[in-house]
Amino acid sequence: MLAGKRVIVILPAYNAARTLERTYAEIPHDIVDEVILTDDASSDATVALAQRLGIRTLIHDRNTGYGGNQKTCYAEALARGADIIVMLHPDYQYSPRLVTAMASMIVSGHYDAVLASRILGRGALKGGMPRYKYFANRLLTFGENLLLGQKFSEYHTGYRAWSRQILQSLNLASCSDDFVFDNQMLAQAVFANFKIGEISCPTRYFTEASSINFSRSITYGIGVLQTALQFRLAKWKFIESALFQNDNRKLPGGSFLKKSRRRPRTKKLL
């Protein structure tokens, strides 16, 4: 626990056997109460390794996509009483040692969510981020900041911390099950006027780290721009949007999954 708050780290995993152990070893277990991994129908030894490490593991019977995996992770963390949920990729691209700092920013009461930014400082290119991804990141972030009225250094990090309150308020069922999920979730939080902070995070790009290919990156970029435009039109009340609802009614923990289309069967271990 951290200042009396239950901290849970969630690991949305897909074929993460080569990097999971290194990621898990650097999680600050002195303040993290539980680690939850959801395996999205991996074809490697991710589940066996997670069991050996003693990680609470959920297994999808079919692949649901990056966003679909996270929906299961968040629902389980809320069900297990998390006050602060930190979403960390198990591919060892981000530093798990920053969990304490990110959770502390939420405990302070200043922020409802925290993003670990690869762009603050000079860590992205030094860490091996491909130049085309770096410049695409900067271009998309510039456009999103204009449309969302923010000044974030990036919207595309896969390392985020959330308070229980914010997860109980967002309509995650309306978000995509694909990679644009992260972007839509963050845009929803901005739309609802939650306080979001950033922290600088070193990054690592190496062979074993997961990364979407060029064609999927294009699809993601289009989805990001569509989300930002939809946000602005909903703010101006020119359109009605399932993603961006002006009433901001709070949902009980985990209920966002009940609204989504048929979820996969999930087997729980440990």
Return d(Cα 111, Cα 81) in angstroms, integer.
20
pLDDT of residue 246: 64
* Segment 200-230, tens digit of pLDDT: 999 888 776 666 777 888 999 999 999 999 9
Domain boundaries, the chain: 7-265
The residues of the chain scoring below 50 in pLDDT are 248-255, 258-261
pLDDT at position 264 is 66
Structure pTM?
A: 0.91
Fold that domain 7-265 belongs to in CATH: Spore Coat Polysaccharide Biosynthesis Protein SpsA; Chain A (3.90.550)
Element (H, E) at 114: strand 113-117
User: Sign (positive/negative) of CA torsion 179, 240, 254, 261?
Assistant: negative
pLDDT value of position 63 = 96
Q: In 3-state terms, what secondary structure has residue 69? A: helix
Size of the chain in residues: 270
3-state secondary structure of 38: strand
